[in-house]
Structure 1
Amino acid sequence: MSNKKILTGNEAISRGFWEGGGMIASSYPGSPTVQILDSLKQYEEIYSDWGTNEKVAMEIAMGGSIAGARSMVSMKHVGVNIASDPFMTFTQTKTKGGLLLVVGDDPGLSSSQNEQDSRFWGKFANIPILDPRNPQEAKDFTIEGLKLSEKFHTPVLIRMMSRLCHCRSAVELGDREEFAPEGFVPEQGRYSMLPPYSNAQQYFMKERMEKLQNFNEDYEYNYLEEGTSKDFLIITSGLIYESLKELQLENINILKLGMIWPLPIEKIKKLSEKYTNVIVLEEMLPFIEDQLKINGIAAKGKEYFSFTGELTIKDIKIGLKKAGVLINGVELEIPQKEEIITRTPMLCAGCPHRPIFHILKANNATVIGDIGCYSLGIQEPFEVHKTNISMGASLGMALGVATVHSKINKQKPIVATIGDGTFFHSGMTGFIQLAKTTENITVIIMDNRTTAMTGGQNTPTTGDYFKEEPGYHVSIPDILKSFGIVDITVADQFKYKETKEIINTAMKRSGLSVVITTRPCALNFKIKSPHFYVDEDICISCRSCLRSNCPPISMKMYPGKEKKNSYINPDMCVGCSVCSQVCPVGAIKCSSENMQKGVK
């Protein structure tokens, strides 16, 4: 009997790693690949944990591999930038236990600050790339990738896309294949990448890629679907193949690739001779198209299809019409999408970041932002953050801006924000640099005890909130003091007036000042206290509470009133009390008489 289960692409990767005998898995949370490690937690045979950042996660998997265990590291596309230092050297080694690098690309930037095409890492690092088209292939390619890794002594990159990570389909399940790792066996020339060892490995990588090239010429996951016409051959791979198939073009010949680097060039050359036109259908950059042109194959692609964003079925249809594939008045029915009302992303009710943004906007600070939930400080109604580049960048950028301002005698204090997850990910090195500055810089560390933006994964400060987890707690103030930083203030941002005074005073002091705000994520920790309400007889409709941008607050026409007054939805309010503290007339009150007035 068939044993199938509906899985997402991410879950299929996890299942494939388990079935393939995987033992060591690591990651750093980043959409769209977060669910891979989350879903691995169910398998007791696998050690799975979050790395402090992608570099550490990569190194954990590398350690597992050199000890002979089948290992995997997963991350989003920008995470490879962080992991590339150890990765680019490790690819020179003769891999022992199978090692997979699973990367989630994000065409269209659904949840990313840039749009990278991770296929170029395969070429750059001299490793093969597998490009699954659906969750079933995601599972199969994970198992296959482990085998290829050990057969050719190479890391293997599995390229996922946002839509493939999150889509669902039936996946055939199998049993686990057990592997007993040998453990680490010292072999100086194999893992010590210093000259002259690393010089010799350049030739090893060259030979490895040549063997993979020959292997890929007859690889079972590269297959031709022949149509009735000899006019066009479409070469494609991954999820975009599924979109193409939705058009049901029976006359079109399709070469679907499974391993997209190294390409089966000889196979493609022979095939291309049979057809008048070769069209490459791929999302983002012309990776396959350029390689075909380099090898003398007259392929076209990006003149018909966009170089950025997702290619929808409609986009593919329009491109194929431009290419002349769809002719003779052929019109394909494309279902019209139902118009969806857009909703601006916003901070959750009770979010501890909200009072900080409210304070910073009021004092018209120049704020250098960072990556996290607090990136929403860029958007209306706060519009506080003026930059958003990469994790940890706020610290070095703040130093650069402050130094320039000092040289041109521009007297305006600089504020940088960073979260606790980002602090541990890539912020500590920036703080070491800042420790010696004399410029007027205030850094606000928003410690909400979790990596909130990606689903609430633990950080080293989570244990400070969960007292039942002794040992899992790192003190950010103690770390900063060890760097030689002395101006450190810990604040409870739900004590609004007190925190406002702390931040404004810190901005006036010369040198580096650090303010650490300590309220945990209301959503992740399900924090809810008695709700607040508006006394409409006291409210003067000044909208001060509304400007805090808390979702439960709106304006409402009360019976017997001539104009709208503030209103708080009791079902949405989590009782953070900030709105009551910004109200100038005391119209916002706690529903519990036992609650101290104004402050939780």
Structure 2
Amino acid sequence: METDRSDKRVLTGNEAIARGFYEAGGSVAASYPGSPTVEILEKLKEYEEVYAEFSTNEKVAVEVAIGGSFYGARAMASMKHVGVNIAYDPIMTFTETPINGGFLLVSGDDPGLASSQNEQDNRILGKFANMGIVDPSDSQEAKDFAKRALELSEKYSIPMMLRITSRVCHSRSIVNIEEREEVKSKGIDHDREKYCMIPPGSRKAQFFMKERLEKLEEYAYDTELNKFEIKEGSDTLIITSGLVYHNLKELNPNVSIWKLGLVYPISQKKAKEITNRYKKVIVIEEMLPFIENELKLMGIKCEGKEFFEFTGELDIQDIQEGLNKAKVINNKKEYIKRFVETVPRPPLFCTGCPHRPTFDILKKSKAKIVIGDIGCYSLSFLFPFEQSNIIISMGASIGIVKGVRKAMSMEQEGEPLVAVIGDGTFFHSGLSTSINILHQQKKEENITLVVLDNRTTAMTGGQPNASSGLYNERDDMKVGIKTLVESMGFNRVKEINQYDYKAAEKLFKEEIAYEGLSIIIAHGPCALKYNIEEPYFYVDPDICISCRACIKTNCPPLRMIKYEGIEKLKSSIDKDMCVGCSVCAQVCPVNAIKSSKNVDREDE
């Protein structure tokens, strides 16, 4: 790919990380799509010099990147914060080995839970794994820190974590663009004792991890990644990192600021030298008191979470209120409105989404307990479907439904159970739980597994999964789920087109009533990913009986309106939104909804 010769460009934090990896001579990058970091890998795919893949899950992504690093190439794995949980098994052992090619783990943390099921602070996991951690505050730092972290990884033989938060991932700022530095892979190091992590090699590695962190702490003493801004005459020091730094600067308080770019390890020598100059030391950081606790472990007296929330983002007003409580400032000015009044728009399935008829059918079924999973179909928890009783983590639905079933069996309760999982999540972490559900399964235990197969990772923007190649020629994986689960040993496996409402309704009724274990693979292409657009449907108000059966499918183009000359509200369809999925027509009891296929659109 020809490099853009412009000196500056406006980039998101994600784009900047990708650019930094490219400029640093990065060779191998892998990821699993998850907000807020999806864009990193998507951007890297534009660079011909980089091998970039969306892997089956985060553990696989990390292993691919580890393999690149073992060969001496600069490598990176990127994922959202909860993805690190999946990847943690190989990470915890890989951090015992020396680094051959620079290794960077990008963790997209999510203060405020904009798109996540929890709000974990992965600085804790980075420290636990004996990694160095950098924390950029804007796009320029995101690019620079990515490059510097790869250099530090090789210099100190340590894996590095670049921890970035959602707002920095998606916000834009000006970035200086530089040329790519070609870094040749060194090849495999054949010293097996260094890389085969079984005793006695791994015993020696414990001391090796300690020594390299001590060396990195020496580097942290005067690293350019940290900035110390002195305010003459002030007796207060604020220590911070990330985007909080810029929000703090908006207030322009009369304080000195020590901004940490390298948040772990922190130089104890430097920390004591700086903090000893001040009467009051306050740490401002989002989520857990990570920096605060590191300083306290050093014996440094400081405050922080007494004044600032442990959860959510810290905006300008939050920081102002906290500094007022700490008696650092006395400023009551309202800088921003926390909430801007807008028309409420609850999250819902997209127009033509194949999952909508499935959950409409489940709502009408005898299944009172439905275990959900992570994906677009998590929206089934919300009104009007309200069909997921439990949603925990990727792939957990199948393991949980087995535990619920076994507990119910011990109480002689035979109520039908349904577990729902998407195809992307099934490939991500549902295979092992699917195998396990066959273990000690009694024939009469009623469980229906529903695999929603839209052949894309839809929730994060339509990235490919293992079955996408069955729908298009661009993707090279063509795994048929039915063939796969039958090879595992499932005997009762049925397939259905989710858009065929009546056939799907009949099948779900049969399988939910079945005394035993069965799988329904419910097909239907993602309407957005595959640009589904058939002739739109319209309502004949003279036939419509205002029963609202179509409205209850919760499709965005449908609404009740007042027609001229008709007293009662009747249903209608916005033809500009309708993609022609036909589900509304199938549920209409009086055939009032018709296809425009044979209608002159200008006349309709």
TM-score by length of structure 1 reads 0.97
Shift of 1:470: 7.9
Q: What's the counterpart of residue 602 of structure 2?
A: none
Instruction: Give the counterpart letter for 1:508 in structure 2.
Output: A
**Does 2:456 align with 1:453?**
no
**Does 2:21 align with 1:20?**
no
Of 378, 382, 390, which residue of structure 1 is paired with 2:381? Answer: 378
Shift of 1:52: 0.3
Of 93, 100, 110, which residue of structure 2 is paired with 1:96? Answer: 100
CA contact (8 A) 1:247 1:332 kept: no
Shift of 1:593: 2.9
Q: What's the counterpart of residue 506 of structure 1?
A: 511
Matched ranges for 1:343-422 at <5 A: 343-365=345-367, 366-422=369-425
Of 519, 544, 552, which residue of structure 1 is paired with 2:524? Answer: 519
**Does 2:180 align with 1:176?**
yes
Deviations, residues 145-173 of structure 1 (Å, cap 9, x unaligned): 11000000111000000000000000000
Deviations, residues 278-333 of structure 1 (Å, cap 9, x unaligned): 00000000011111112111110000000000001000000000001113xx3445
Instruction: Give the counterpart letter for 2:298 in structure 1.
Output: N
Matched ranges for 1:207-218 at <5 A: 207-218=211-222
CA contact (8 A) 1:230 1:274 kept: no
Matched position secondary structure for 1:160: strand
Q: For the structure 1 residues 267 and 135, does the alpha-carbon distance in structure 2 shift closer, same or farther, using more than 3 Å as the test?
A: same
**Does 2:539 align with 1:534?**
yes
CA distance in 2, matches of 1:69, 1:469: 27
CA contact (8 A) 1:229 1:253 kept: no
CA contact (8 A) 1:355 1:496 kept: yes
**Does 2:581 align with 1:576?**
yes
Matched ranges for 1:93-132 at <5 A: 93-132=97-136
CA distance in 1, matches of 2:565, 2:77: 63
Instruction: Give the counterpart letter for 2:542 in structure 1.
Output: D
Count how many residue pairs are aligned between Structure 1 and Structure 2. 591
CA distance in 2, matches of 1:386, 1:331: 44
CA contact (8 A) 1:434 1:512 kept: no
Matched position secondary structure for 1:142: helix
CA distance in 1, matches of 2:54, 2:545: 50
Matched position secondary structure for 2:590: coil
CA contact (8 A) 2:27 2:50 kept: yes
CA contact (8 A) 2:101 2:186 kept: no
Q: What's the counterpart of residue 80 of structure 1?
A: 84
CA distance in 1, matches of 2:334, 2:448: 57
Q: What's the counterpart of residue 198 of structure 2?
A: 194
Q: What's the counterpart of residue 29 of structure 1?
A: 33
Q: For the structure 1 residues 267 and 470, does the alpha-carbon distance in structure 2 shift closer, same or farther, using more than 3 Å as the test?
A: closer
Instruction: Give the counterpart letter for 1:454 in structure 2.
Output: T
CA distance in 2, matches of 1:228, 1:322: 23
CA distance in 1, matches of 2:321, 2:329: 9
**Does 2:329 align with 1:326?**
yes
CA distance in 2, matches of 1:509, 1:338: 51
Q: What's the counterpart of residue 316 of structure 2?
A: 313
CA distance in 2, matches of 1:343, 1:469: 34
**Does 2:487 align with 1:482?**
yes
CA distance in 1, matches of 2:502, 2:44: 45
CA distance in 2, matches of 1:331, 1:107: 25
CA distance in 2, matches of 1:2, 1:48: 24
CA distance in 2, matches of 1:342, 1:214: 52
CA contact (8 A) 2:414 2:446 kept: no
CA RMSD, 1 decimal: 1.3
- Structure 1 window deviating more from structure 2 (501-510 vs 279-288): it is 501-510
Gaps of 5+ in 1: 595-600
Matched position secondary structure for 1:542: coil
Matched position secondary structure for 1:246: helix
CA distance in 1, matches of 2:310, 2:340: 26
CA distance in 1, matches of 2:341, 2:268: 44
Instruction: Give the counterpart letter for 1:237 in structure 2.
Output: S
Shift of 1:406: 1.2
Deviations, residues 26-55 of structure 1 (Å, cap 9, x unaligned): 000000000000011111000000110000
Matched ranges for 1:213-362 at <5 A: 213-249=217-253, 251-327=254-330, 330-336=331-337, 338-362=340-364
Shift of 1:364: 4.3
CA contact (8 A) 1:71 1:99 kept: yes
CA distance in 2, matches of 1:568, 1:2: 48
Matched position secondary structure for 2:251: coil
Deviations, residues 84-120 of structure 1 (Å, cap 9, x unaligned): 0000000000011000000000001000000010101
Matched position secondary structure for 1:78: helix
Shift of 1:56: 0.2
CA distance in 2, matches of 1:333, 1:397: 47
Shift of 1:469: 4.7
Q: For the structure 1 residues 182 and 272, does the alpha-carbon distance in structure 2 shift closer, same or farther, using more than 3 Å as the test?
A: closer
Of 560, 563, 570, which residue of structure 2 is paired with 1:558? Answer: 563
Shift of 1:231: 2.1
CA distance in 2, matches of 1:180, 1:271: 40
Shift of 1:435: 2.3
Deviations, residues 468-516 of structure 1 (Å, cap 9, x unaligned): 3585200111110111101000101111011111111011112211000
Matched position secondary structure for 1:354: helix
CA distance in 2, matches of 1:474, 1:530: 31
Matched position secondary structure for 2:486: helix
Matched position secondary structure for 1:321: helix
CA distance in 2, matches of 1:103, 1:252: 31
Shift of 1:248: 2.0
Deviations, residues 246-287 of structure 1 (Å, cap 9, x unaligned): 1122x2100011100011221111111111100000000001
CA distance in 1, matches of 2:475, 2:107: 34
Instruction: Give the counterpart letter for 2:335 in structure 1.
Output: I
CA distance in 2, matches of 1:367, 1:146: 45
Detail structure 1 runs of 4+ shifted over 4 Å in the superposition: none
Shift of 1:228: 3.1
- Structure 1 window deviating more from structure 2 (120-129 vs 375-384): it is 120-129
TM-score by length of structure 2 reads 0.96
CA distance in 1, matches of 2:260, 2:207: 27
CA contact (8 A) 2:468 2:475 kept: no
Matched position secondary structure for 1:453: helix
CA distance in 2, matches of 1:470, 1:145: 33
Matched position secondary structure for 2:504: helix
Matched position secondary structure for 1:39: helix
CA distance in 2, matches of 1:214, 1:109: 35
Shift of 1:128: 0.5
Deviations, residues 186-237 of structure 1 (Å, cap 9, x unaligned): 2211110000000000000010111111110111121211113332100001
CA distance in 1, matches of 2:198, 2:259: 40
CA distance in 2, matches of 1:338, 1:371: 29
CA distance in 1, matches of 2:233, 2:404: 61
Instruction: Give the counterpart letter for 1:551 in structure 2.
Output: P
